Amino acid sequence: MSDITKACRDIQELSAQAQIACNLFMAECKKAGLNVLITETYRSQSRQNWLYEQGRTRDGNIVTWTKNSNHTGRMAWDICKNVRGQEYSDAAFFTKCGEVAKKLGITWGGTWSTPDKPHFEINKRWKSPIKEDTEMVEKDMLIVNGKEFTVEMIRKDGYTYIKTQDIGKALELKVSNQGRIPVLGKK
């Protein structure tokens, strides 16, 4: 059993839809120059209960107002600013992240009557606002071991798809194929 005192930060522990939403959110924040760190994603009910006890039956500040969190339903994630010492002190940072979320149809906890600024979540009706027919190949940068390469990529649902030829070039691998199957190998 996982340690209830530890937060899970793995995006892949979210629901399939929430993974798309969270990846998209992270990608859009990055584009906006916001240095976001995920601090928690999925939370077991026992961890939620344990957090609820804090400040009530256990010492410490109250950190949650509910035992029914969307974290336990794999639909929510928490963030902070990825700058040491400024994790929660920059109000403008969270407001900007909230604006990114709004554009993507993601709910920001900062809009609630009891604000929870680090918190973001989707509901079951959420759909990616980025239409599939807007897919396009763009030239952008890939960094491998500190070296920059220009590669062709498609960005979709928060994921990046890079041309195999370009990956091969960046990793100094030989690119060939076996029928439809791309083959990468040592030169």
Which one of residues 119, 142, 153, 158 is an interface residue with Zn ion (CB under 5 A)?
A: 119
Backbone angles phi, psi at 116, to 5 degrees: -130, 80
Residue whose CB is less far from Zn ion, 65 or 159: 65
Kindly state the smallest distance separating residue 40's Cβ from Zn ion, in Å: 7
Interaction between residue 78 and Zn ion (CB under 5 A): yes
Which region, judged by CB under 5 A, interacts with Zn ion, from 6-14, 16-24, 116-124, 137-145?
A: 116-124
Interaction between residue 98 and Zn ion (CB under 5 A): no
Query: What is the Rg, in whole angstroms, of the alpha carbon atoms belonging to the chain?
Result: 20
Interaction between residue 47 and Zn ion (CB under 5 A): no
Closest-CB residue for Zn ion? Answer: 119
Kindly state the smallest distance separating residue 148's Cβ from Zn ion, in Å: 36
Count the alpha carbons within 13 Å of 69 in the hemisphere toward its beta carbon: 28
Backbone angles phi, psi at 107, to 5 degrees: -80, 130
Number of chain positions touching Zn ion (CB under 5 A): 2
Residues that bind Zn ion (CB under 5 A): 78, 119
